[in-house]
Chain A
Amino acid sequence: EADIYQTPRYLVIGTGKKITLECSQTMGHDKMYWYQQDPGMELHLIHYSYGVNSTEKGDLSSESTVSRIRTEHFPLTLESARPSHTSQYLCASSELGGTTYNEQFFGPGTRLTVL
């Protein structure tokens, strides 16, 4: 079944550690996004990609980086985790579209806690 997968679902890690949050989609979508969301609060776009080798920063400044080497894979990396990075990270994808308005489909999220 076509879906968006995120791993790990929960991560508790110490300050200074390097972490990579994985996101994969089998939707066949070109566009992928990363959002940061505190529980029940506003979604903030931190990174997006329109296809392979395309990455852009979102509206919320983030110390994380992303890569898009394969269409279905969009990992997010934090080189040195800090307590201020504690949040939920949601991955999403949508069709490339054109003049159509395309629904964004979300993954289940990774809840990150940095001690």
Chain B
Amino acid sequence: GENVEQHPSTLSVQEGDSAVIKCTYSDSASNYFPWYKQELGKRPQLIIDIRSNVGEKKDQRIAVTLNKTAKHFSLHITETQPEDSAVYFCAATDFYNQGGKLIFGQGTELSVKP
């Protein structure tokens, strides 16, 4: 089955700096890669996702890149702000054959210092 590894487990940056979180997956059939943000004490929320037919997707300060050959994808946050502080989870699935069952990475706790 699918296995998703996420690094780093913790990340501390200064406000205004960029943050990068990386994930690798094992199942080459995976074709959907969402990223969720979970603030302390709150529910996870989708912030961006990418499909296997796309190499990069951007939404304001957030971008995700996908390298299917190497089986890894990354989340890039530019101009970080204190409200970006949260735990970020990557996930992967073969949507056609796994029916939307997501396999999550271990999470990255991002701390943005003012």
Binding site for B on A (CB under 8 A): 31, 33, 40-45, 48, 50, 58-59, 90, 94, 97, 99, 101-104, 106-109
Residues of B within 8 A of A109 (CB): 43
Cβ-defined contact, B101 with A58, below 8 A: yes
Cβ-defined contact, B103 with A59, below 8 A: yes
A59-B51 in contact given A41-B107, A102-B100 (Cβ < 8 Å): no
Give 20 CB contacts A-B under 8 Å: A31-B100, A40-B107, A41-B107, A42-B89, A43-B44, A43-B89, A43-B102, A44-B104, A45-B102, A50-B99, A59-B103, A90-B43, A94-B100, A99-B96, A101-B100, A103-B34, A103-B46, A104-B34, A106-B45, A107-B43
Interface secondary structure of A, over-half rule:
loop
Cβ-defined contact, A43 with B100, below 8 A: no
A18 CB, nearest partner CB in chain B, Å:
26
CB-CB nearest in chain A for B104? A43
B32 CB, nearest partner CB in chain A, Å:
5
Number of interface residues of B (CB under 8 A): 26
Is B114 at the interface (CB under 8 A from chain A)? no
Cβ-defined contact, B104 with A101, below 8 A: no
Residues of A within 8 A of B104 (CB): 42-44
Cβ-defined contact, A59 with B1, below 8 A: yes
A97-B45 in contact given A40-B87, A40-B107, A59-B1 (Cβ < 8 Å): no
A96 CB, nearest partner CB in chain B, Å:
9
Residues of B within 8 A of A90 (CB): 43-44
For B33-54 the 0/1 string (1 means CB < 8 A from A) is: 0100010101111100101000
Give bound CA distance, A99 to B32, whole Å.
11
Cβ-defined contact, A104 with B46, below 8 A: yes
